[in-house]
Amino acid sequence: MNEDVKKALNKQINMEMFSSYLYLSMAADFIDKNLPGFAKWMGMQAGEENSHAMKIFHYLAERGARIELEAIDAPKKSWGTPLEAFKEALAHEQKVTASIGKIVDLAREKKDHATEVFLQWFVTEQVEEEANATDNVVKLEMAKDNTGALYMLDRELGMRKSD
């Protein structure tokens, strides 16, 4: 495996693990705010991001590439409102999408066809990730300061099932 591609994939593991940690922090904040549905949704999202990191981890192992884990930055601990948290989640997913795109471009440049094909799953997954975050932002923007609407959204998000 090309050294630059290997480094980029190792960096992506770190980004995915940070995503998991960020969403876990959001879940903790929602627990503190007595929003168990939002907390459940973010907790499940944290688990999903961890599985993305492990997918890359196992891919590197299958390719015989050295896996090099780095420290994960501490995430923010509190958000003023659920809308602020979901806006940050959307911005973060857009950052992840851009990172995946850069690795796809690098894999093409280095003619690493296996990695390019492997990353197509992530390209598709990021479309879903951004759509989910956008959907929640739009709903929270519609709800504004309506506590009844917030209660209903909390119940709706608490019904999330694992994929």
Q: What domains sit in the chain, N to C, each tagged with a CATH number?
A: 3-158 (1.20.1260.10)
Q: Answer whether 37's CB lies under 8 Å from 159's CB.
A: yes
Question: What confidence tens digit (pLDDT) does each residue in 82-109 have?
Answer: 999 999 999 999 999 999 999 999 999 9
Q: Answer whether 39's CB lies under 8 Å from 154's CB.
A: no
> Is 0.85 topped by the overall pTM?
yes
Give me the percent of the chain exceeding a pLDDT of 90. 97
Q: What average pLDDT does the segment 125-130 reach? A: 97
Instruction: Compare 95 and 161 and report the one with higher pLDDT.
Output: 95
- Measure the CA–CA gap between 79 and 47, rounded to whole angstroms: 20
Question: What confidence tens digit (pLDDT) does each residue in 23-64 have?
Answer: 999 999 999 999 999 999 999 999 999 999 999 999 999 999
- Please state the length of the chain: 163
**DSSP per-residue letters across 10-61:** HHHHHHHHHHHHHHHHHHHHHHHTT-HHHHHHHHHHHHHHHHHHHHHHHHHH
Grade residue 162 by pLDDT with cuts at 50, 70 and 90: confident
Instruction: Compare 69 and 145 and report the one with higher pLDDT.
Output: 69
Q: What average pLDDT does the segment 149-159 reach? A: 95
Tokens of 126: 């990021």
Q: Would you say residue 163 has pLDDT above 90?
A: no
Question: What confidence tens digit (pLDDT) does each residue in 74-85 have?
Answer: 999 999 999 999
Q: Catalogue the long-range contacts made by 44-51 (C-beta closer than 8 Å, 24 or more residues apart).
A: 44/160, 44/162, 45/89, 46/19, 46/20, 46/21, 46/22, 47/20, 47/162, 48/163, 49/16, 49/17, 49/19, 49/20, 49/23, 50/16, 50/17, 50/20
Grade residue 154 by pLDDT with cuts at 50, 70 and 90: very high
